[in-house]
Chain A
Amino acid sequence: MIKVEHLVKTFGTKRAVDDISFSVEPGEVLGFLGPNGAGKSTTMRVVTGFYPPTSGRVTVGGFDVVEEPIAAKRLIGYLPENAPGYADMTVHGFLSFAAELRGLAGDSKKKAIYKAVETCMLEGVLYQTIDTLSKGYKHRTCLAQSIIHDPGILVLDEPTDGLDPNQKHEVRALIKRMGERKAIIFSTHILEEVEAACSRVIIIDRGKIVANGTPAELKARSELAGAVRISTRSASAAALNEKLTPFAKRTEVLSEGAGGVAMRIYPVAGHSRDAEFAASIVELAQRENWKLDEIHIEEGRLDEVFRSITLPDTIKRAA
């Protein structure tokens, strides 16, 4: 549905997007991650036809966004960053305007507005002007505008920005539900959001793609992934350490006190099967007569992967 090939976008001498390629198919939700200024919004603006690309090619549903912009734009619903809206219009007027530009009229327009209002829960503010709305409602109004024509492709630039936790949850659930049959790209800073809603993640840094995979694949890159956490009251940290050292790359004492010892054991490199590693630790515990209160296989954390990929090397060394 969306195909981006070797996209480059420069502003003056700055390369905001530097040779990016990816594609999104219906049924896929692609999460765009990256630090501020990495080129997420710029990429989305090129895909939606707002910025012409400096070089490279973007096609949407088979239509080139430069050659056939109108046909391409018709297929896309777009929520720009900061969810802009005409301050002096009512929510209903705004949605009606969006529907008209999408070629809807009469009954189908009325139905489309009704459905978008229902999906985005805007019933209460339908006849308020946009400048009187709270940030959350403003965001949802703009989101409603993007889905009013039931597009096959959605491009959402930080769709949960400024929403409260409940609204964030609803919007994520909505994205996930729509992602079952649409092709969706959305950008975010919130890593848990990616895990909750995306089927695939791309991390962009300084205009380049630095990681591309499913959330699980990315998490597996984390140093933490596959580590085993145990806690026990029947041995001291020193004793545990002595016995565990041959098994592990390193061990880390998380806490030690009256409640016993909690320890994290990192597998030696190449020990990829988490369960196997955990089993060998359980076996050891039985042999040594440790009573394990808890044993847990760590999943790896996206924020750690994100930091290790996107932090400039100098800062990484300092940290």
Chain B
Amino acid sequence: MHTWTNIKAIMKRELGGYFTSPVAYVFLVIFLLLTGFFTFTVGNFFERGEASLVSFFTWHPWLYLFLVPAAGMRLWSEERRLGTIELLLTMPVTPWQAIVGKFLASWLFMILALVLTFPVWITVNWLGSPDNGVIIAGYVGSALLAGAYLAISCMTSAMTRNQVISFIVSVMVCLFLILAGYTPVTDLLVRWANPVFVQTIAAFSVMTHFDSFQRGVIDLRDVVFFVAVMGFALFTTGVVIRGHRAG
């Protein structure tokens, strides 16, 4: 009955929290500068001579590796540091409403950052005629990727009241999810490990699942993968929070 009102109130507060401090503006500016830099300079957008955003999306898993944990590290550790978690959880709100509300707020924030990259899309459409379906699939994949990383940041943030520790741990977890399926790494592993084993590990990687979005394919299995990562990480967040209270 009150579920959605509660989630909305928590979401609104959390989102407001980004914008009342300089965090949001610093984050957005850095995100946009870096996406621009990687797309045009490192990704050789112009030299490629093709009307696509491949050079834009390729860098997202790496860019998010540092930026998403930075956006998510405060979610729960700040509550614990300030002691407001005691207020929040003694309100007539279930823990999972609080978890979902906070997660959705940070995800919306990341999606906003992603939307603000629209000049890249305008540029590529102005210079040539790209397949906009592929680009949309790329954006969907990128948003799901950010969501998965954010859920992991949520989890590590619930584990500690120290934001720095929260940041480092979530970077490590996300890095593992990248490297497990990163071609240079899997190529190396295949030399001495069972290929089936390597493939199984690679199936847990965000790279494997993000790739098909870049090619313009929205495969249900990939969507399920990202949603499952989010669900698992948020569930673990709930367990961690309950653990603190049970003593």
Contact = CB atoms under 8 A, between A and B. Distances in A.
Q: Do A and B come from one complex?
A: yes
A280 to B, nearest CB: 56
B105 to A, nearest CB: 13
Interface in B107-127: none
Contacts of B128: none
Contacts of B9: 97, 100-101
B20 A101 contact: no
Interface of B is mostly: helix
B190 interface: no
Given A73-B92, A74-B92, A145 B87 contact: yes
B215 to A, nearest CB: 42
B96 to A, nearest CB: 12
B245 A101 contact: no
B133 interface: no
Interface size class of A (residues with CB under 8 A): 35 or more
A7 B5 CA distance: 34
Contacts of B245: 50-52
A246 to B, nearest CB: 59
A101 B86 contact: no
Nearest to A101: B91
Given A49-B90, A80-B87, A103-B2, A88 B21 contact: yes
A78 B90 contact: yes
Contacts of B91: 73, 98, 101-102
Contacts of B94: 69-70
A171 B83 CA distance: 22
B93 interface: yes
Nearest to A142: B87
A88 B87 contact: no
A84 B92 contact: no
A45 interface: yes
Interface string B1-34: 0100110011011001100110000000000000
A229 B46 CA distance: 99
B86 A50 contact: yes
Interface in B207-229: none
B247 interface: yes
B246 interface: yes
B89 interface: yes
Given A50-B90, A100-B5, A84 B17 contact: no
B132 to A, nearest CB: 39
7 nearest A-B pairs in the assembled complex, by CB-CB distance: A84-B83, A100-B9, A11-B247, A101-B91, A48-B90, A73-B92, A80-B86
15 contacts: A49-B90, A50-B86, A50-B245, A51-B246, A78-B90, A84-B82, A84-B83, A86-B13, A88-B21, A97-B13, A100-B5, A100-B12, A102-B92, A103-B5, A105-B5
